[in-house]
């Protein structure tokens, strides 16, 4: 029958290579082919298994087992569903993006800091991930590769908000925002990019904001984090194109999510800013309430993931498109006045 340990190592090698080539993943492939392996072992045909696996040899398998394997092999060779990894997929934009990518034909892995508390989504596999922790990022990406053998699209959606005047926000609080919104993106890119380069293809989609190219009083730290993502992503895109990889940006405007409720409040509030801050907070709450549905942003994410000739930047929804156009075309002085008027600041 052959040495069981050697056979196990051979099978493991076959499954890992086949999983990496087809996108099925070694674990899923093992489950699919296990009945055939059991039949072969029971029939004392293990020594001939590996060469027979390559050719579907009926003299070794017998008719039924050969037909089963040939069907499996056809499934393996025609299963080319790409794999999308979406961070922060438990709610809001990330949840809608995960569902939209499933509908677009992707296998999807979504992440949450505590996936045990996430409501299951059809077609989405959830993993624990904290983008602010190096070890968590490494473990999550490794698990995706081990289970699926590939990552074709990375959607860096996980993020945190921050409200309050710049002077009211301590450096420590600002560092915490950047650790998720900026360095979290960098951690994910650094872990995923080697796999994409090895594949010779891939797309990194970073969720920015209209606040990545416009100012927002009383949200200086958050706006700074999104401005950083804009510069990082555009620079990264130039570096990775020759490897078949693109780094792209999706820029939502105000979106109906729990952004305001989940945003950090200033840790050193000052009376000098209290009245204006409260006004801006109220305006922000109204803008989010009347904003785009998360599905609007998800549509832009799917476009970035699937367009044959992707754009560097995708504005999500009509408001984001208008703001982008105004930023490019309106003279700086006029744009400055409009910012102050919208936020009810003194002229």
> Which residues are designated catalytic?
90, 208, 222, 226
Closest CA to 131 of 207, 221, 227: 207
What are phi and psi for residue 160, nearest 5 degrees? -130, 155
Side-chain half-sphere exposure of 238, counting CA atoms within 13 A:
5
The helix or strand, by DSSP H or E, that contains position 100, with its residue range, turns out to be helix 92-103
- If one counts every other C-beta atom within 10 angstroms of the C-beta of residue 105, the result is 12
The helix or strand, by DSSP H or E, that contains position 109, with its residue range, turns out to be strand 107-112
| Rounded Cα gap, residues 223 and 221, in angstroms | 5
What size, in residues, is the chain? 347
Closest CA to 164 of 109, 245, 242, 224: 224
| Rounded Cα gap, residues 144 and 154, in angstroms | 11
What are phi and psi for residue 346, nearest 5 degrees? -65, 140
Is residue 245 within 8 A of residue 196, CB to CB? The reply is yes
The alpha carbon of 36 is separated from its chain's Cα centroid by a whole number of angstroms, namely 36
Tokens of 106: 């992707």
- If one counts every other C-beta atom within 10 angstroms of the C-beta of residue 8, the result is 10
In a 3-state reduction of DSSP, which class is residue 46? helix
Is residue 85 within 8 A of residue 154, CB to CB? The reply is yes
Angle between helices 4-22 and 63-78 (to 10 degrees): 40
């Amino acid at each position: 029958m052959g040495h069981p340990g050697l056979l196990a190592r051979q099978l493991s090698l076959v499954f890992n290579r086949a999983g990496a080539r087809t996108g099925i993943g070694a674990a899923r492939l093992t489950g699919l082919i296990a009945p055939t392996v059991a039949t072969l072992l029971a029939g004392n045909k293990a020594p001939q298994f590996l060469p027979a696996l390559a050719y579907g040899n009926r003299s070794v398998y017998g008719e039924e087992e050969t037909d089963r394997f040939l069907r499996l092999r056809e499934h393996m060779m025609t299963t080319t569903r790409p794999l999308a990894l979406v961070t922060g997929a438990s709610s809001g934009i990330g949840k809608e993006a995960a569902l939209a990518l499933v509908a677009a034909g992707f296998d999807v892995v979504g992440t949450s800091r505590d996936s045990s508390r996430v409501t299951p989504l059809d077609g989405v596999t959830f993993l624990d991930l904290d983008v602010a922790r190096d070890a968590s990022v490494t473990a999550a990406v490794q698990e995706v590769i081990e289970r699926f053998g590939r990552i074709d699209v990375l959607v860096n959606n996980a993020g945190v908000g921050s409200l309050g005047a710049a002077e009211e926000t301590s450096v420590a609080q600002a560092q915490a925002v950047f650790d998720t919104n900026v360095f979290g993106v960098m951690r994910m890119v650094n872990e995923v990019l080697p796999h994409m380069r090895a594949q010779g293809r891939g797309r990194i989609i970073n969720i920015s904001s209209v606040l990545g190219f416009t100012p927002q009083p009383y949200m200086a730290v958050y706006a700074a984090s999104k401005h950083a993502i804009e510069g990082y992503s555009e620079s990264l895109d130039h570096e990775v194109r020759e490897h078949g990889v693109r780094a792209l940006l999706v820029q939502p405007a105000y979106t109906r999510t729990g952004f305001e409720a989940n945003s950090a409040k200033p840790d050193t509030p000052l009376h000098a800013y209290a009245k204006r801050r409260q006004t801006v907070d109220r305006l922000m709450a109204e803008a989010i309430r009347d904003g785009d549905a998360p599905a609007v942003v998800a549509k832009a994410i799917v476009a970035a993931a699937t367009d044959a000739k992707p754009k560097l930047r995708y504005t999500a929804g009509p408001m984001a498109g208008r703001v982008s156009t105004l930023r490019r075309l309106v003279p700086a002085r006029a744009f400055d006045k409009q910012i102050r008027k919208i936020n009810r600041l003194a002229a």
